[in-house]
């Protein structure tokens, strides 16, 4: 290319610029593709089965009807971390939270408890939750509190074919289950439920969660 200015002519060789331009295009594409690939390959977040998730709610109902579901239920509000009056002692639940447990239990009753096995951890807050939620308390199972690295394995070991499994447990065990299934961890509130499918002929997979206050929106779907 020639450039003429004030009677002075300069010739420029643009072939080198073209070569650098091609490299710049390749670099720019790489910078776009890499984060896009990371975004597309990242694990999907745990689905919220409430708030209009019709497909998720239907999958839960169908799996529950077959007896293919494992659900971890977090105990309701613990008293030692609240200013509300205790139901009994400080290591149990608050007095106000027993109504939450009863309400959530009624929703499980609607799903059906005829073919469901129920376990709770040995701590008082989970025992009280199980009592008000399901009218059933056992002596407590240590694996529902000492669950680091073993939650999914132990849950599957206690799952009976054709029967749903309800585990009243703690937020740490819910987090461990998410980690075992390689899904992003979620912060679930008191009384929340975390559902997975445990079809004997398929690998277990995450169904989603329902917060204690959101069951009504699921029932309306």
Among the four given CATH numbers 3.40.50.1000, 1.25.40.10, 3.40.50.1240, 3.40.605.10, the one describing domain 54-219: 3.40.50.1240
The predicted model scores a pTM of 0.80
Average of pLDDT values for 71-98? 96
Which H helix or E strand runs over 70? strand 69-74
- State pLDDT tens for residues 45-58: 899 999 889 999 99
pLDDT above 90 covers a percentage of the chain that reads 73
Q: DSSP class of residue 79?
A: G
Boundaries of every domain in the chain: 2-41, 54-219
């Amino acid at each position: 290319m020639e450039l003429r200015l004030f009677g002075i002519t300069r010739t420029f060789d643009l072939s080198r610029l073209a070569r650098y331009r091609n490299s710049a295009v390749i670099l720019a594409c790489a910078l776009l593709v890499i984060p896009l690939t990371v975004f597309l390959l990242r694990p999907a977040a745990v689905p919220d089965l409430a708030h209009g998730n019709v497909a998720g709610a239907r999958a839960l109902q169908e799996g529950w009807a077959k007896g293919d579901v494992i659900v971890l239920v977090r105990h309701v509000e613990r008293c030692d971390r609240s200013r509300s009056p205790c139901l009994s002692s400080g290591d149990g639940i608050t007095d106000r939270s027993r109504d939450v447990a009863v309400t959530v239990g009624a929703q499980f009753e609607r799903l059906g408890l005829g073919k469901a096995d129920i376990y709770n951890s040995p701590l008082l807050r989970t025992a009280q939750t199980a009592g008000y939620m399901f009218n059933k308390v056992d002596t407590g199972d240590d694996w529902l509190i000492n669950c680091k690295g073993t939650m999914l394995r132990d849950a599957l070991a206690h799952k009976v074919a054709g029967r749903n499994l309800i585990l009243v447990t703690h937020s740490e065990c819910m987090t461990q289950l998410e980690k075992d299934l390689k899904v992003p961890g979620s912060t679930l509130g008191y009384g929340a439920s975390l559902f997975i499918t445990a079809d004997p002929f398929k690998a277990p997979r995450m169904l989603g969660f329902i917060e204690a206050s959101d069951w009504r929106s699921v029932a309306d779907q």
